[in-house]
Structure 1
């Protein structure tokens, strides 16, 4: 598998395993099965003849109901990745997740960019698809399927041939998709020794992800060993920026040490 070494803003090298095109394709397939299942069972559950404008005569209401019904499918990838720390159900099953190129959790803006640019990666020819469907050509089904497949191939080919296995949305949002192959080791690298009587100081540390905590710990250890105070200041600023913590510690080392202990406390007791 392809590995990628990222130099963080604190000049610490972190190595990741990049998710390959087949893992992402399988995750994409799982997510689409979930979406199609939602549509199928939704249609079976609700009597859509009740929403037929020919029967009810209220076209605007019917269109509004259509929009509401398809909202969960339309925004599935966006809200899943935001709520599940860079994963959809498909990505979680395949043990892959989205991170930004600095190694930290992407911002909501990054997730929105990735989601919006799916129109290029997977639906580039959708307008042509709709246009051909409206023409009513005798051999339109063959052409429609060809356009549909070509549109889906754009993202596939980009992931296959780009250096970091990125689709267009990843490139613009500065994100990559990694494979969490060392899940047990990954968790062990962020563990801190805390006793049963430990009292946490910063509840906002739960805004961090496991990956954030790992990078913070590795950077902290390296900077502390080298007495690299500039890096410690940068690391403290980054933590405060991500978590909105109001620090009560004047020492950078004390602050970061407590942040790591608090993160372990909350993740082990939630």
Structure 2
């Protein structure tokens, strides 16, 4: 039943594998409107989810799918298909949330009526949880990773030590680390203040001292006070490209590479953030 319903959404051309572009422009595509309202990190994730939905329906990408033709039976079939493929409950629910977001945009734009919107969105989320991936990093492992950075006398060594210190000492996500600029940083004697805009455009202030402040100070001595991204991207040999920032993926690569050099297995930026939260809980915060 699931495959038939998906084929019905795609139409005859979709069943044959052909793609017929929508006649509507991007500005009236509800998927584009929905994605435009998300933060950049969320936009990438939800665009990937919508791309998968479009492919299940016989279209090459989300820009080509006729979202206003989607009904309850189509959404239910997509849910069933993802579960059959072994997708995690969180992945299925994220995909359903993306579909609901697109249909909400279509309703707000007057492309579908309220009954169509409510019926199509009335698909149950998937119950169940999986254990989160990743782990907490021990103090010994963290010290070994920092030692590798400090022993690297190139500019990349100072940069990477500051990245790891902020990921652990301030609990920053890799997207937040890559988005930091010099405008976010303020120094007051031995303390640094970081103004950060996180998920859902929420601003927060971070106060750094002790080892985290020392690592940031050492990097700023190398980097200089020029405006622009806080962390510069690198080249071979530990050389950095002034003025060119790092992507979230590059931040992850730094953490993984330094952990491997230290002989520490299976560490990601989120593991450092998880350790930060665990340590806060252990201290009674």
Instruction: Answer whether TM exceeds 0.5 for this pair.
Output: no
**Length-normalised TM-score, structure 2:** 0.24
Higher RCO, 1 vs 2 (CA within 8 Å, ≥6 residues apart):
1
